Structure 1
Amino acid sequence: MVKQERAARTRELLVQAAAEAFAREGFIPASLTTISRRAGVSNGALHFHFESKSTLARAVEEEAAEVIRQIGRSDAGRPGALQRLVDATYYLMGRLDQDVVVRAGFQLSNCAALRERSVDLRGQWQHWIEQVLQEAEREGELAAGVPAADAATVVAAAMAGFEMLGAKDRDWTSRGRLLPFWELMLPRLAAPGVLEQVKPAGTRLGAHPSRRQPPT
């Protein structure tokens, strides 16, 4: 058991170190030697867990994808599709701002050198946005004349913009940037009787998470 725990800790250290290197330097410039040194392990230990830099990158992407899956799981039993959408954007932008593994996972989506991917992060996120807006349409939450597909296109494109701009300037993933977006968008998206119920600043369920701490 102790050996398994040590191996799991080493793997986590390597994923964290790889994410930091990829986010700071980019996938191609980041070296395995830099990553192993940052993780405080030998090159041999790195190759025991990951056969190549590409497999490390896929592990980073997979951990980032788990955040999208968490958003879907947290929906269970929660009313109000539009409020869930608003809350989810605050949550994901908070993770992008504060969690280097999530940030690096999305940045790796732009890397042409990674031909084989474990997940399509942006595709998963877009699919979730489409699903929740389809639910809003079924439940009569959308304003008259606003198709769910069109709303999903606008919201997904805006969130991709926040995410990509945030890779250069973290202010773009802050609550201060998202709030004006939702204050402008919700009056167009939400049916009149629903608009008063949706909080553009989000609820506590959409609060930014605590900053990810490196494994100790």
Structure 2
Amino acid sequence: MTKQARSEQTRRLLLEAAAELLHRDGYAATSMVGIAQAAGVTKGGLYFHFSSKDEICDEVQIAATGVLRAHVGRQLTVPRPALRRLAELSRALMHWLDTDPKVGASFRMAREMGSVDERFVVFSRTWLAQVHEYVADAIDGGELGTGVPLETAELLVVVTCVGLESVVSSRIVEPDGDLAVTLGKLWRLIELAERSPRPTAGAGA
């Protein structure tokens, strides 16, 4: 292995270890020493690649954003209605929160540290911007009623995803299966409600 390859491998191990710790323990409980130990790297090796914990947090969010952008890029290869893309993005987010520590760490950092420093909400805002784009496309394409405000529809999606992640991570509720499956059930309820016939005026009177 060349020196450059070893350096890249060490950096990757540090990012993976940082993401795991940040996702599991949160920002405050994660230390530079802990990251180095978890990665099996010396403290000097850690500081060769990263000057501070915040710099590592930035890199974790950049990696998580790459996961998001790759998903959006794959969606573009197959034409789909905007609401379908929105549902797929939401389910993908829930899947990543279960399986990808980079995304899980980014979401947790936003929840715990976003009010302290905007650097911790980079991934969350990128995801929010994509939700906004899909909702706007759905409205423009006539997939949502003309009276549905963009901000309200967007907020509904965000609150559903963020709220589900929060109540599950805090163990307030236990999901039926993984987060993606649970969110899928919520989307099916919405789809069924959209298909249900609307009561006519005076019905049941």
Q: Decide whether the 8 Å contact of 1:142 with 1:190 is kept in 2.
A: no
Distance 1:151 1:186, change over 3 A: farther
Distance 1:154 1:190, change over 3 A: farther
* Pair 1:174-2:189 in alignment: no
Give the structure 2 partner of residue 165 of structure 1.
Answer: 167
Distance 1:187 1:144, change over 3 A: farther
What do the CA deviations read for 1:103-143 (whole angstroms, capped 9, x no partner)?
01111113338636175222221211111111111112124
Query: What is the Cα deviation at residue 175 of structure 1?
Result: 3.2
Distance 1:188 1:150, change over 3 A: farther
Give the structure 2 partner of residue 67 of structure 1.
Answer: 67
Further displaced range: 160-169 or 23-32: 160-169
Query: What is the Cα deviation at residue 191 of structure 1?
Result: 11
Higher helix content, 1 or 2: 2
Alignment partners' CA distance in 1, 2:92 and 2:29: 30
Give the structure 1 partner of residue 23 of structure 2.
Answer: 23
**Unpaired stretches in structure 2, ≥5 consecutive residues:** 198-205
Distance 1:178 1:60, change over 3 A: same
Structure 2 residue matching 1:145: 3-state secondary structure: coil
Alignment partners' CA distance in 1, 2:108 and 2:35: 17
Structure 2 residue matching 1:109: 3-state secondary structure: helix
Larger relative CO (CA 8 A, sep 6+): 1 or 2? 1
Structure 1 residue matching 2:151: 3-state secondary structure: helix
Query: What is the Cα deviation at residue 145 of structure 1?
Result: 3.1
Distance 1:166 1:120, change over 3 A: farther
Distance 1:190 1:144, change over 3 A: farther
Q: Decide whether the 8 Å contact of 2:63 with 2:102 is kept in 1.
A: yes
Query: What is the Cα deviation at residue 163 of structure 1?
Result: 2.4
Structure 2 residue matching 1:117: 3-state secondary structure: helix
Give the structure 1 partner of residue 156 of structure 2.
Answer: 154
Give the structure 1 partner of residue 88 of structure 2.
Answer: 87
Q: Decide whether the 8 Å contact of 2:57 with 2:120 is kept in 1.
A: no
Alignment partners' CA distance in 2, 1:35 and 1:179: 35
Alignment partners' CA distance in 1, 2:71 and 2:196: 24
Alignment partners' CA distance in 1, 2:61 and 2:145: 36
* Pair 1:76-2:76 in alignment: yes
Give the structure 2 partner of residue 104 of structure 1.
Answer: 105
Alignment partners' CA distance in 2, 1:106 and 1:155: 15
Q: Decide whether the 8 Å contact of 2:109 with 2:121 is kept in 1.
A: no
Query: What is the Cα deviation at residue 14 of structure 1?
Result: 0.3
What do the CA deviations read for 1:58-91 (whole angstroms, capped 9, x no partner)?
1112111222222332232422111111111111
Distance 1:62 1:33, change over 3 A: same
Query: What is the Cα deviation at residue 190 of structure 1?
Result: 7.5
TM-score by length of 1: 0.78
Q: Decide whether the 8 Å contact of 1:18 with 1:35 is kept in 2.
A: yes
Give the structure 2 partner of residue 130 of structure 1.
Answer: 132
Query: What is the Cα deviation at residue 150 of structure 1?
Result: 1.9
**Unpaired stretches in structure 1, ≥5 consecutive residues:** 193-216
Selected match of 1:145 from 135, 144, 147:
147
